[in-house]
Amino acid sequence: MRTDQDKTLEILRYIQYEKIGDVCENSVRSNGKITVICRRMYRLAKDRENNRLRQQKHYEKTKSNKNITPPSSSSSSSSSITELSRKIDNSPRVGEKSPEGDEPKRDDEKDKIKAKKKEQIKMANEAIDLLNNAGKRSFRKTEANRKYIIARFNEGFTLDDVQKVLNYKRADEYFTVERPDLFRPATLFGTKFESYLQAAKAGTPTKMSRQVTDDEIERIANEYRQQPKKTP
């Protein structure tokens, strides 16, 4: 675009007044040409340069940090390895016994549980003997018969309680004459055991209308055994 001098000066004044750009006067003096610098483009170029410098600084900082190893992690891992090695050295080998006085508590608990179970089986067998003698029966000392008695022992009942219930039900004509099949562990030591015991302690009268002798109980038991078993 060709203009005269007055028009050119007017355009330059407008650019400076509106702050659109800067007029470089040094270029006019040196070579007679006018250089106009756009402020927006200058700011963008300056921003790009600043961003480049920040990225370069961050990269150099990151690169220098890679060569630094924190001492805390290595020391903690070293101490953990040392502690683990000490535990392995002090632990007993396969087939060896632990040092005296250092037995695990769980072994003691297992021994107590085993001893308690053994004692309960012994008491349950004694209860079955009492039942067989009282009712002239011949129940075997099996797990199926013991489970009812052991369940009552776990509830806090004793052999003395078992004897009281057996004596009480032995005098009950319904159990010894009418329904001798109920004189069994599942019935006597079932969920009604406590009610039988309370009745025995209170002296509640039974359905006994007359005194039943041992011979009569034996006869009734033999008749019950000789009855043919019902097939399902």
Rounded to 5°, the CA angle 20-23-28 comes to: 160
Between 15-19, 76-80, 168-172, 214-218, the lowest mean confidence (pLDDT) is in 76-80
CA distance 159 to 155: 12
Name the nearest CA neighbour of 179 among 227, 138, 116.
Answer: 227
CA distance 189 to 127: 10
Q: What is the pLDDT, as a whole number, of residue 209?
A: 42
Cβ(151)–Cβ(192) below 8 Å: no
125-146: pLDDT as tens digits: 999 999 999 888 899 999 999 9
155-193: pLDDT as tens digits: 999 999 999 999 998 888 887 778 888 889 999 999 999
What separation in angstroms does the CA of 150 have from each of 129, 131, 189? 14, 15, 9
Residue 68, phi then psi, degrees to nearest 5: -100, 120
CA distance 207 to 175: 9
9-19: pLDDT as tens digits: 777 777 777 77
The rounded mean pLDDT for the chain is 76
| Residue predicted with more confidence, 216 or 194 | 194
> Is residue 207's pLDDT more than 50?
yes
- Compute the average pLDDT of residues 192-221: 72
